[in-house]
Chain A
Amino acid sequence: TQLLKQSPQFLSIQEGENLTVYCNSSSVFSSLQWYRQEPGEGPVLLVTVVTGGEVKKLKRLTFQFGDARKDSSLHITAAQPGDTGLYLCAGGETSGSRLTFGEGTQLTVNP
């Protein structure tokens, strides 16, 4: 069974600070996705990375896929209260297959 270790599990910071969330595995994934989930809602896809070493930017969010396609990171610059939520990384073995989810990072950005 492929496992994804996500860290930190909880993060509480002040508005304007930067943060990084890590997602690590001993297995190779064909793709890795990052989702954000708000209470009482389903996860919403933020980005998908598929190529080793790939870097994608989404406004203040920067996503990176490790060269070996086993790990990924999410960096948020100048965090805002609206960034508060549960961030989940998920690895896909092949296109259309089941996803393996990390444990999640609960981010709280205080005004």
Chain B
Amino acid sequence: GAVVSQHPSRVICKSGTSVKIECRSLDFQATTMFWYRQFPKQSLMLMATSNEGSKATYEQGVEKDKFLINHASLTLSTLTVTSAHPEDSSFYICSARDGRALDYGYTFGSGTRLTVV
């Protein structure tokens, strides 16, 4: 089945620094990938839709300059949290869908636990 690899799985950074999270589709091409944020015991909140070769579409309330998304190839999207602060600490998850799949489901990465100290 489709596999989405997300890296790193955990990162601790100092306040004010930037952190880059990678999301790769390993065995399929994904023109669109999605980035979510999840707080403990809560559901996934869509942050943005990453589009290969064009600008990402951000959800209302998500700061574009804070969460930079780059989708430079059909298999890689990156999310950069710039000038991170403790309130950015969260679980970030990406997903993509293999267009060849018969079901409508999306494959999710294993997530990145970001802790800003």
Task: Decide yes or no: A42 and B43 within 8 Å by CB, A33-B105, A96-B32, A98-B49 being known contacts.
Answer: no
In Å, the complex CA distance between A35 and B44 comes to 11
Q: How many residues of B contact A (CB 8 A)?
A: 26
Chain A interface category by residue count:
20 to 34
Q: Who on chain A is nearest to B105 by CB?
A: A45
Which residues does chain B contribute within 8 Å of A111, judged by CB atoms? Answer: none
Q: B34 is contacted by which of A41, A98, A103, A104 (Cβ under 8 Å)? A: A98
Task: Decide yes or no: A104 and B46 within 8 Å by CB, A33-B104, A92-B104 being known contacts.
Answer: no
B43 in contact with A98 (CB, 8 Å): no
A43 in contact with B108 (CB, 8 Å): yes
Binary interface encoding of chain A residues 91-106 relative to chain B, with 1 for a CB under 8 A from any of its CBs, else 0: 0100110110111101
Given contacts A42-B108, A96-B99, 10 further A-B contacts (CB under 8 A): A6-B43, A33-B106, A41-B110, A42-B95, A48-B103, A92-B104, A96-B32, A98-B46, A101-B43, A101-B44
